[in-house]
Structure 1
Amino acid sequence: MAAIRPSRLPGRHRRSPESQATYSEVIAIGEFRALWLGQCLSLLGDQLAQVALALLVYDRTGSPLATAAVYALTYLPPIVGGPVLAGLADRYAQRHIMIVCDLARAVLVGLMALPSMPFAMLCVLVFCVVLLSAPFTAARAALLPEILEGDRYVAGSALQNMTNQGVQMLGFAAGAGVIATIGAYQGLALNAVTFLASALILVLGVRRRPPPDPEGGAHASMWAMTKAGARLVFGDRRLRTLVLFAWLCGFYVLPEGIAVPYAVTLGDDSRQITLITGLLMAAMPTGTVIGAFVFSRLVTPTGRLRYMGWMAMLSCAPLIGCAMRPPLAVVLALWMLAGLGGAYQLAANAAFVQCVPPGRRGQAFGLVQSGLLAAQGIGILIGGAAAQALGPEPVVALAGAAGLCVAALLAMLWTETRAEIITRVRTQVP
């Protein structure tokens, strides 16, 4: 891995490897602010769209399976083209990729907002919109370590994560009320506007950079780059374990996919069910905001790596309590606690950056992100089918129990592989 360069911020003193970067340091960097604000705007629109789609489908079908299937459709497209499209981030200028993806998604979501759009075509448009998120996310993930170095990357990731989760919390909770007031199609139109705003912010706030230099002096084919990225990610034991930690979220995100049928068991009328749906969808993001703040500000860089396994287990264990069919307040508390545990992803992400060469980050992050979305989509689809037969409460509990078992196994594997990464963090040149 390339050596960490000195801070670009003027007047900064050398820090020990165990000292944490502050949020004010990363906010002072203009390019980070642009990435941060653009992501917040488009994510807020996405939450409105997810609530709108879930309510539209359940209103038309009354089926938990159909509702979960359309929700899963927002995760499954990366299985088809995500790993290949992610390689664009290592071939072309990352800023350019992000702008083009935002503009294309604005057009597609604008078409989704047409009331006359047939339901089947609506599903096709959802598929295409999510597919475009693969190169966008890969480009942003590869660009962020170039803008933020050392522990500033962790602080920036934590700030971005907390803000994103906060936006999700606001989008799901307030979004349900907004959709109930203005209608589902108008909510989709707002989502299109946020993509346009994100593209404009990237044009104005992120400087142009040349495309990444190809290995060996020439770009390989997209398929060859995909295979090379897969060998890199899955051929290294450390990276393989970190990838599985990332994909663990397929278990603890499952409840969001069946939030509407879960809300039906807790509410009496359609408006109450809509509001409960928003609260349920907002519970985990709320917990993650709290967990990300505590994990990034109160725990040292090496401490995050040591506690990562325990936090991963915490992300799943509370969901088991849903088997008791508790009231809404208890369900919200359990889901928030699971979201708090999900903050372990900060440490996993930072460790992944440590282990991947800078010129391969776009493809590597793209593969991980595509698999992550696919794992969530498959889990939600299975959860929807199971909820139709068993009811939502036992399905959430089963997901928590299965996830806890997997997290415990990963924690043991991580204990055997984390020493080298901890040593690397301790010996970083500030």
Structure 2
Amino acid sequence: MTTDLPSGTGADAAPDAPAGYLRLFRVAEFRAVFIAHAASLFGVVVAEISLSVLVYRLSGSPLLSALTFALGFLPYAVGGTLLSGIADRWAPRRVLVGCDLLCAACAVLMALPVTPVAALLALRCVIAVVSPVFNGTRMATLTDVLGDGDLFVLGRSLLRIVSQSAVLGGLALGGVLLTAVSPRGALVITVATFLCSAALLRLGTRRRPARTPGKGPLLRTSLSGARGLFADRRLRVLVLLLWVPPMFSVVPEVLAAAYADEIGVGTAGVGLLMCAMAVGTIGSELAVGSLLSPTARSRIALPLVCVTLLPLIGYAAGPGLVPTLLILLLAGAGFAYTLGVDRWFVDAVPEELRGRAMTLQSAGLMTVQGIGAALGGAAAEVFGVGPTVAGAGVLGALSCGALALAAGANRPKGETGLTAI
């Protein structure tokens, strides 16, 4: 299949000029990947809401209903660690299409009227185990489609923006959908979205060979990828830079309902508190990705990561709704640092390790956010919501500062992007 920009060549024709997100859509393969991502993401959101409602109706248990959401996070660590070798050992298009078809099959079984609650939860686990393999393979494939330069950074950023936007609108849209169809009927829509994604990836992307084909045990291949990622000090620091800020920033989100109750703003306030940080992140990524050159993004990355969590300290003063929303918007805006770190990460990862590294990074990101949410909830029980969020801001900023210093100390010779701090 041809593209308007040759993969890996035209991507960086003007290496230090702002490329802009629109240029991504001149690459035909990226258009297919982007639409497939949007389709499957919609299917996942619909499945999460539908399953939660369906499990509650069948069991009458709030715990089991909530567990359908938790099972979207918990198996990530298992799939990302034990199955990451799939991303490098098999042809990437085959992996992506196979994951979509497996998820579609799970959704078909979920939609059957005879499927019991235990099976619904088990099938949800299967989708969650497959997700990090799919996400890591897709991100590694982006380097083939867009090159490993600035267009890759913008492509990864745009997919991330779509995911964050789904958090803002997906749950509401899914709720509206369930007023028109039954939960099992909505799951049929999920089947269609996964099949649509599989077809787009099969027909819209080129076949590429596996990065490291092998016949040894999959577990050994996967674990060797983890060792290769964390044995290298520079890679380890860069992965932590991508994990640590989200681990702390999730705390105000999971405590939004409790904080809204404390300041007396009701359920409407809860929605605003949960959305504000994502709005700040989306706006800053779009602005930085569109207006700044790759060098400028690299120069601001470490200063941004050092300050992005500092606004959360304002929670210690117990501000009202509007000041709190401004705090969260500012904290979210700092996450534009990922545009710089993404570039360093893909440059530092060896080609033969790229699929496993992307899979582990994706799985770890989900896992540390789950850990951060659990620790934040536990701390709030003892110290209260405001002090807990403020404490997350302090601890997070100190951790990010230490990682930024480590990143600067381990920069390759001649790389100017890490000299900003």
TM band (smaller chain)? 0.7 to 0.9
Structure 2 residue 227 is matched with structure 1 residue 231: yes
Question: Which residues of 2 match residues 64-143 of structure 1 at below 5 A?
Answer: 71-112=69-110, 119-143=117-141
Structure with higher RCO (Cα < 8 A, 6+ apart): 1
Please say if residues 50 and 71 of structure 1, whose CA atoms lie closer than 8 Å, have aligned partners that are also in contact.
yes
Distance 1:13 1:390, change over 3 A: closer
Corresponding residue for residue 155 of structure 2: 156
Match of 1:246 among 242, 248, 251: 242
C-alpha distance in structure 1 between counterparts of 2:234 and 2:123, whole Å: 37
Which whole-Å deviations, capped at 9, do the CAs of 1:147-191 have from their partners, x for residues lacking one? 102222122223323333223322245445555776766655544
CA distance in structure 1 between the partners assigned to 2:366 and 2:137 by the alignment: 16
2:330 aligned with 1:337: yes
Confirm or deny: 8 A CA contact 2:110 2:187 kept in the other structure: yes
Partner of 2:145: 147
Determine the C-alpha separation between the residues in 2 that align with 1:110 and 1:26: 34
Question: C-alpha separation between the residues in 1 aligned to 2:7 and 2:44?
Answer: 34
Decide whether aligned partners of structure 1 residues 401 and 381 sit closer, same or farther in structure 2, where only a CA change above 3 A counts.
same
C-alpha distance after superposition, 1:22-65 (max 9, x if no partner): 333321111101111111122233344555677889996778xx
Aligned residues: 410
Structure 1 residues 420 and 160, CA gap change in structure 2 (3 angstroms): farther
Q: What percent of counterpart residues are identical? A: 37
SS at match of 2:143: helix
2:365 aligned with 1:368, yes or no?
no
User: How big is the shift at 1:69?
Assistant: 6.4
Q: 1:325 to 1:40 in 2, by over 3 A?
A: farther
CA deviations over 1:320-349 (Å, ceiling 9, x no partner): 333444344443333332222122222222
**Aligned match of 1:400:** 393
Gaps of 5+ in 2: none
Q: Residue type matched to 2:17 in 1?
A: S
Task: Determine the C-alpha separation between the residues in 1 that align with 2:320 and 2:50.
Answer: 25
1:36 correspondence with 2:34: yes
1:284 is aligned to 2:284:
no
1:349 counterpart residue number: 342
More off after superposition, 142-151 vs 175-184? 175-184
- Cross-structure match for 2:167: 168
Task: Give 1:141 deviation, angstroms.
Answer: 1.4
SS of 1:232 mapped into structure 2:
helix
Which residue identity does 1:36 align to in structure 2?
F
Task: Give how far 1:143 is off.
Answer: 0.6
Provide the residue aligned with 1:428 in structure 2. none
Q: Which amino acid aligns with 1:239?
A: L
Q: Distance in 2 between matches of 1:232 and 1:13?
A: 28
- Structure 1: tracts of 5 or more residues without a match: 1-6, 426-430
> Is the contact made by 2:79 and 2:130 (CA closer than 8 Å) also made in structure 1?
no
Specify the code of the residue in structure 2 equivalent to 1:293.
Answer: L
**Structure 1 stretch 243-252 or stretch 119-128: which is displaced more?**
119-128
Query: Contact (CA 8 Å) 2:11, 2:146: kept in 1 or not?
Result: no
